[in-house]
Amino acid sequence: MELKYPLALYICAGVAALFIIAAFITIRVKRKYKGGKKAFLPEYLKKLSMYKSRIVWYTILKYVLIILIITSILLAGFLMSRPYKTESKELANYNRDILLCMDISTTCDNLNAVLIDKLEDMVRELNGEKFGIVIFNTSPVLLVPLTNDYNYVIEILEKIKEALEMRIDYYNGKLIFSDKLYEMDAFISNGTLIDCDIRGSSLIGDGLGAASLDFYDMEENPDRTRCIIFSTDNDLLGDCYVSLPEAGQMCVDRNIIVYGIGTEDMRKEDREEMKDTVEMTGGTFFYGEDPKVVEGIVSEIRAQLATLDETQYEIVETELPETPFKLLLLSLSMALLLAFILKV
């Protein structure tokens, strides 16, 4: 604990010292009789036990009152000197933007459902970073712009996971078509199938390329660490505007690191292309839908993200008036009570 204005405490300490001197001088000086009514048999009264007891209590309370007044003066000086503490606050984890970019075609449903389940814990651990969600099939959709409203992010992730699980159950014959299924499927499909009858589906490069453009403050904050968690089977079924390697180069040009997660049954050539693209950005390629595998993948991504930024610190000052203020109120209250009792 430190004091901003210690001089205020020194001044009040001097006032308290003067008060002590004045109080003891007043106590020791015997007052002369200046007229008025005299009590009958005063010497006799002074010998009574009740009188002696009252005098003892009066003297004790008088000294307690003096102590309380001195304490109040010192506490007032302590408050005026502005006590505070300084703390070093880490800022490193505030300097990252993370986008989840998911291929929302049905062949990736199992991977995405497990991935979201494991990513939710990671989102809960974030502390100031921005997180966003992009989904794509034929066309990319920015479902959640970069934000640090983690409750909202988790709410959307839960909704996507529910939609994926319902769609998986429907295609596995465990669920019949219903309004709820239609509503949930529309949530993850609307906007992602524009011109699918002409251009096809699973346009992987367009999805990653669009995600690289969704970091909206590239020019204003060029030093931020930006990364994309990219899930897909890389099974192209149409005509892309941007190929996957071209999208990877867009990420390189914007200093965006891509962590790729592919399905376990990817074709060899698709896996190799995705691996090369991801590693070109400085990221790592993973694959597999098994919950334990995905949990390990997310843990590794979390560990890699934690090492991306140099640690930065900010010195924060926090004032500490609460305790001395409470003590001052208590001291003054007791002093007033004693003054009333003693009729000072």
Averaged pLDDT for residues 183-212: 91
How far is C-alpha 114 from the chain's CA centre?
26
For residues 272 and 123, membership in a common domain is answered with yes
Averaged pLDDT for residues 122-128: 82
- Compare 325 and 293 and report the one with higher pLDDT: 325
DSSP alpha helix (H) spans, the chain: 6-28, 42-46, 49-80, 109-124, 150-171, 179-189, 196-199, 204-212, 244-253, 268-280, 291-306, 322-342
For residues 96 and 81, membership in a common domain is answered with no
Task: Match 């999208």 to its residue by tokens.
Answer: 247
- Distance between CA 320 and CA 246 in Å, rounded? 56
Q: Is residue 215 in a domain?
A: yes
- Distance between CA 69 and CA 327 in Å, rounded? 12
Residue 28 vs residues 24, 25, 327: alpha-carbon distances, Å: 6, 5, 30
Q: Please give the residue range of the domain that contains residue 133.
A: 92-311
For residues 147 and 260, membership in a common domain is answered with yes
| CATH number of 249's domain | 3.40.50.410
pLDDT, residue 66, reads 84
Neighbour tally for 326: CB within 10 Å: 11
pLDDT, residue 42, reads 63
Averaged pLDDT for residues 5-17: 84
274 band by pLDDT with thresholds 50, 70 and 90: very high
Query: Tell me, what amino acid is at 42?
Result: P
pLDDT, residue 45, reads 66
Q: Where is 136: in which H helix or E strand?
A: strand 130-136
For residues 302 and 330, membership in a common domain is answered with no
For residues 194 and 333, membership in a common domain is answered with no
Q: Is residue 254 in a domain?
A: yes
For residues 72 and 108, membership in a common domain is answered with no
**Count of domains observed in the chain:** 2
Q: Is residue 244 in a domain?
A: yes
For residues 109 and 248, membership in a common domain is answered with yes
Are 221 and 159 in contact by the 8 Å Cβ rule? The answer is no
For residues 15 and 164, membership in a common domain is answered with no
Are 134 and 168 in contact by the 8 Å Cβ rule? The answer is no
pLDDT over 70 at 172, yes or no: yes
163 band by pLDDT with thresholds 50, 70 and 90: very high
- Compare 54 and 143 and report the one with higher pLDDT: 143
Q: Is residue 36 in a domain?
A: no
Of the candidate ranges 60-69, 142-151, 308-317, the one whose mean pLDDT is the lowest: 308-317
331 band by pLDDT with thresholds 50, 70 and 90: confident
Q: Is residue 34 in a domain?
A: no
Q: Is residue 169 in a domain?
A: yes
For residues 325 and 262, membership in a common domain is answered with no
For residues 79 and 142, membership in a common domain is answered with no
Listing from the earlier edge strand, what are the strands of the sheet with 2-3?
2-3, 83-90, 313-319
Averaged pLDDT for residues 230-243: 91
For residues 284 and 334, membership in a common domain is answered with no
DSSP 145-173: EEES-HHHHHHHHHHHHHHHHHHHHHHTT
For residues 71 and 99, membership in a common domain is answered with no
Query: Tell me, what amino acid is at 276?
Result: D
Q: Is residue 238 in a domain?
A: yes
* Mean pLDDT of the chain, nearest integer: 84
Q: Is residue 33 in a domain?
A: no
